[in-house]
Amino acid sequence: MSDTSDDMAAKAQLYEAHMEMIEETIDKRKWETKDGKILSFEDMTTSHIENCIKMLTRNQTCIGDGFILAFNYELKRRQV
Share of the chain above pLDDT 70, in %: 98
Strand partners, 32: 38
pLDDT of residue 60: 87
Residue 19 has pLDDT above 90, yes or no: no
Top-confidence residue, 48 or 21: 48
Residue 56 has pLDDT above 80, yes or no: yes
pLDDT of residue 3: 78
Mean pLDDT of 7-29: 84
pLDDT of residue 22: 76
Top-confidence residue, 69 or 23: 69
Return phi, psi of residue 61, to 5°: -125, 160
